[in-house]
């Protein structure tokens, strides 16, 4: 169990390094390389999500999950947009720590809502995980833009 946690932690750290590299590539105007790296990040996020969901070797799955419908596409998009706006407003208000916590909590809640339910097609789950990755990147881009505007304002 501890080895699994360490593996997940390492994958998360690897993802963070890749995201930092992505920012640097975009800042340097290397869009072609940034697009390729973004695809790698999305694949890594899918792998992380899959490993988080799987119980691991020798572990029995927990009991049945409670049934709850997946948010419809437009409902999910609406929630994501509200989350982005909230984070942006918190940054604009000079509250970056709170903005980061709201972003993390919101992402966790969206992820929870998107966990596969009985009868949900794997393609739908994969698409939702890709959207989460895109949303994470959008939040980080918004943070960068707010910080840049804040520095220019001074």
DSSP of 31-62, one letter per residue?
Answer: HHHHHHHHHHHHHHHHHHHHHHHS--TT-PPP
pLDDT tens digits, the chain, 154 residues: what are they?
677 778 888 888 988 999 999 889 889 998 888 888 888 888 888 888 877 776 555 444 444 444 445 445 567 677 777 888 888 888 888 888 888 888 888 888 877 776 666 666 777 778 888 898 889 889 989 998 888 888 888 6
Between the CA atoms of 104, 110, 111 and 114, what dihedral angle is there, to the nearest 10 degrees?
Answer: 180
Task: Give the pLDDT of residue 91.
Answer: 81
- What proportions of the chain, in percent to the nearest 5, are helix, strand and coil? 75, 0, 25
* Domain parsing of the chain, residue ranges: 1-63, 70-154
| Cα 50–chain centre separation | 14
Residue whose token pair is 């390389």:
33
pTM summary value: 0.38
Residue 46 has a pLDDT of: 83
Number of Cβ within 10 Å of residue 151's Cβ equals 8
Predicted local confidence at residue 120, as pLDDT:
65
The pLDDT score that the predictor gives to residue 135 is 92
Quote the distance between the C-alpha of residue 73 and its chain's center. 17
Q: Three-class SS of residue 132?
A: helix
Angle formed by the axes of helices 73-92 and 96-113, to 10°?
170
Q: How deeply is 120 buried, as exposed, middle or buried, from its count of CB atoms within 10 A (0-12, 13-18, 19+)?
A: middle
Residue 100 to residues 24, 55, 89, 131, Cα–Cα distance (Å): 20, 29, 12, 19
């Amino acid at each position: 169990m501890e080895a699994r946690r360490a593996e997940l932690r390492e994958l998360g750290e690897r993802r963070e390094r890749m995201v930092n590299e992505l920012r640097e590539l975009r800042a340097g105007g290397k869009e072609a390389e940034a697009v390729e790296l973004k695809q790698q990040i999305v694949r890594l996020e899918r792998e992380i999500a899959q490993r988080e969901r799987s119980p691991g070797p020798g572990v029995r799955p927990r009991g049945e999950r409670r049934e709850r419908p997946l948010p419809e596409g437009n409902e999910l998009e609406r929630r994501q947009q509200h989350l982005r706006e909230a984070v942006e407003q918190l940054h604009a208000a000079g509250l970056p720590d709170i903005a980061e916590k709201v972003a993390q909590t919101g992402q966790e809640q969206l992820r929870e809502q998107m966990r596969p339910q009985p009868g949900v097609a794997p393609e739908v789950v994969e698409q939702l995980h890709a959207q989460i990755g895109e949303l994470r990147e959008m939040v980080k881009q918004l943070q960068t833009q707010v910080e840049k505007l804040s520095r220019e304002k001074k």
